Amino acid sequence: MVKADVEAAIAGGTATAAKSQAGAPASTPAAPKPMSDDAVLKLFEEGSYELVPHDNMRKTIARRLVEAKSTIPHFYLTLDCEIDALLALRKQLNDAAPMKKTEKGEAPAYKLSVNDMVIKAMAVALMQVPDANASWTESGMLKHKHADVGVAVSIPGGLITPIVRKADEKTLSVISNEMKDMAVRARSRKLKPEEYQGGTTAVSNLGMFGIKDFSAVINPPHATILAVGAGEERPIVRNGEIKIANVMTVTLSTDHRAVDGALGAELLAAFKRTIENPLGMLV
């Protein structure tokens, strides 16, 4: 921007203000509108489709997604995490799980997934970078004292995000069993509102579908959401030599009003540090 640009902008602003004071409305760009139903249907031959009405869940999801993308300035940060140590610890912990009696006989007291460990690592990272554990409000920044981690769960006709409350204080086995219970009840639509409303952040994992990386949409009032891709063997360079390691790509979406680039980078670095040194999640 040069001096002439600044002077022109000032002059334009002054002229607009003068017109407004004189009673002439200041022009504002009209918000773009989606295509009408009729306009969409006219693009296809009659009889070549079936129109399935939206249920309330799909309408709510659509409304919240439009709201989130329209009102939250999304900012994205991506990095790779080596997860060999995480996979080894997960196997060790699962192998050591005590047996418990069930209606069908005996079964392990827990069975940890990689996602359970991601939830815990995100909670630990938020405690290490407390300024990122926040929600934006117009009157001030809402600083949270605990990490309540929402987890995206696919259900018929949509998606819901049950929340692991105070995940920073819970053990991996508690997080794992809690998530399994909520996922089952989510799919049968038996979650209570307090089990999926609120939260301070969220995790969305598409690794089980082989997705390498993606960017997730923030679910307000959260200021962040972590998108987790598949862990896979990849060549890496270590000390000048090519090695093979299990690598997982993660992308952090942030609400730039609450978590700017440097703060988001600090949070993601803390997550990577925890994931790559997973013993820290046990203390």
CA 32 – CA 129 distance, rounded (Å): 38
C-alpha dist (Å) from residue 185 to 107, 209, 215: 20, 22, 27
pLDDT of residue 246: 97
pLDDT of residue 229: 98
* pLDDT at residue 104 in the model: 78
The CA-based dihedral angle spanning residues 204, 210, 214, 216, taken in that order and rounded to the nearest 10 degrees = -20
Task: Write down the pLDDT at residue 227.
Answer: 98
Q: What is the pLDDT of residue 158?
A: 87
144 annotated active-site: no
Instruction: Return the structure tokens found at 62.
Output: 């659509």
CB 176 within 8 A of CB 94: no
* Domains, in order of start, for the chain: 73-282 (3.30.559.10)
* Residue range 16-25, pLDDT digits in tens: 444 444 444 4
Parts of the chain with a pLDDT under 70: 1-31
So what's the pLDDT on residue 26? Answer: 52
**Tens digits of per-residue pLDDT, 26-66?**
555 566 778 999 999 999 999 999 999 998 888 988 999 99
Identify the pLDDT of residue 13: 47
pLDDT of residue 31: 60
The pTM of the full predicted model, rounded to 2 decimals, is: 0.85
Give pLDDT, residue 156: 87
Amino acid making up residue 148 = D
Contact 242, 108 (CB under 8 A): no
d(CA 89, CA 95): 10
Catalytic-labelled residue, pool 54, 146, 222, 256: 256
